[in-house]
Chain A
Amino acid sequence: MSELGLFFAVLGAVGAALVAGIGSAKGVGMGGQAAAGALTENPSLFAKVLILQLLPGTQGIYGLLIAFIALSKIGIIGNGAVSLTLNQGLSFLAACLPMAIVGYISALHQAKTSVASIALVLKKPEQFGKSMLFPAMVETYAILALLISILAINGIL
């Protein structure tokens, strides 16, 4: 039973990195397509559109962070795996879920907002500051998910 506990804990950690990472990869890819289109017509916008492209990439980093914390907690990284009950393993899995799910969904929505903001910068480059705020707003929810996942993981053991 203790092995199954460990399995679920690792599943949660890997899932957070995997799912949020997929979301970010898709998101940065979408931003990249828009950025490439923007640069084809106006190469001087490189720095501005690069920042907008990268915004949906943070969810992948948060997922990785959660995976590190969870794997450290259960000893996979460090002194060797600890023994976990099934309950504790499932708790780790549940604790990682906010980052995995919210990370994935927020990355896609942030990407859409970034793409729209790149269009805004193309039309009005002077509005870059404001255009960055719109995708940044979506980031709030990824940060909230990150926070709750960290608190939950730290509360298990």
Chain B
Amino acid sequence: MAENQYIYAVARIRAKENSLLKQQTLDQLMSCKTVKDCTNILTDYGWDCEDKTPEQFLSLEREKTWSLMREMVEDMSVFNIFLYPNDFHNLKAAIKQVYLGKEIPAIFMKNATVDPVVVLKAVTEKDFSLLPESMRECADKAYDILFKTGDSQMMDTVVDKYSLEALYKSGKESKNELFATYAEMKVVAANINVAIRSAKTKKPISFLKEAFVACDTLDIKALTEASLAGLESIYAYLENTAYHDAIQAIRKSPSAFECWCDNKMMDLIRPQKYNPFTISPLAAYVLARENELKSVRIILSGKLNGLPEEAIRERMREMYV
């Protein structure tokens, strides 16, 4: 990626970063009594919340980020790494919809590299040549699993693995440090999650082999053995890896671990605030916005469900700015 290709875009992003939500803003949101109070604050920050449900304005904010990127970046394929999971989600959704034989509303995700209509057509006609090469084998395998065994959990596992492999390959081939780090973190988080869940539910080695995705910073063979041996073995294995500080969060709860992963990602991308070149600051902004949307969603759903402030605060992510 040419260093000077994104100077204009990065300058715009630097200005946009000024309007990202800060930690103090989240504290303000948390101390609000109602969702309405929260939306008033968000409106002051330029969010278009008027006459919209939280889901609607959160989705609108995500769309704003992507339309900004489309405006500034000529070749949007540089962001494919963020969109592959949506492609594979759409594939899962299409297979399930065809399997169930009825239309499920709002099941497909926008902002994917392949049009969901094409994915649905490929699955309906069982013509996977309509899909990109990286999805064909996965589609064929997942389709067979669901239609022959009806095991949707196994199908999800298979598709998730292909999705992570596509994301990982894209990250490593990008020759961009941020994308490579993002891919590594995503795969590591998924592998640790699989290990923990498998240890709790005593999954067999055949399942682990199907679910784990190879990566640079985890030894899959050792993690498989640890998963079969139990939770304490997983913690013992992680103690000797770069992710030893995740153990406390894993012990606490799955949502605490998810929060740790997001915070770690923010730590890793934060240096991009001072990088005036390359695509990395743009990618970091996309991730920062996603993190921001996730945090606002947590606060709003906490308010809607009447959760105490302490419970919401526990799930709060660290902000990029």
Report which A residues bind B (CB closer than 8 A).
Answer: 30, 33-38, 40-42, 112, 115-116, 118-119, 122-123
Contact = CB atoms under 8 A, between A and B. Distances in A.
A contacts with B: majority SS: helix
A119 B4 contact: no
A122 B11 contact: yes
Contacts of A33: 4, 7-8, 11
A123 B8 contact: no
Interface stretch (B15-23, B27-35, B48-56, B152-160): B15-23
A115 B5 CA distance: 13
A123 B4 contact: no
B14 interface: yes
Given A41-B15, A123-B14, A123-B18, A112 B8 contact: no
Contacts of B277: 112, 115
Given A112-B277, A115-B277, A38 B4 contact: no
Interface of B: 4, 7-12, 14-18, 274, 276-277
B18 A119 contact: no
A34 B17 CA distance: 15
B7 A41 contact: no
A127 to B, nearest CB: 13
A134 B9 CA distance: 22
Contacts of B16: 41
B7 A115 contact: yes
A54 B11 CA distance: 16
Contacts of A42: 15
B11 A37 contact: yes
Contact of B12 (A37, A112, A115, A123): A37
B276 A119 contact: yes
Contacts of B4: 30, 33
Given A33-B7, A115-B7, A122-B18, 4 more contacts: A34-B8, A37-B8, A38-B11, A119-B276
Contact of B8 (A36, A116, A122): A36
A34 B18 contact: no
A123 B20 CA distance: 12
Contacts of B10: 34, 37, 119
Given A112-B276, A115-B276, A38 B15 contact: yes
B239 to A, nearest CB: 40
B14 A119 contact: yes
B321 to A, nearest CB: 10
Contacts of A122: 11, 14-15, 18
Nearest to A121: B14
A122 B276 CA distance: 12
22 contacts: A30-B4, A33-B7, A33-B8, A33-B11, A34-B7, A34-B8, A34-B11, A34-B276, A35-B11, A37-B14, A38-B12, A38-B14, A41-B16, A42-B15, A115-B277, A116-B274, A116-B276, A118-B11, A119-B10, A122-B14, A122-B18, A123-B14
Q: Which 6 A-B pairs have the closest CB atoms?
A: A37-B11, A41-B15, A33-B7, A37-B8, A34-B11, A37-B12
A38 B17 CA distance: 12
Contacts of B7: 30, 33-34, 37, 115
Nearest to A26: B4
Given A30-B4, A122-B18, A123-B18, A40 B12 contact: yes
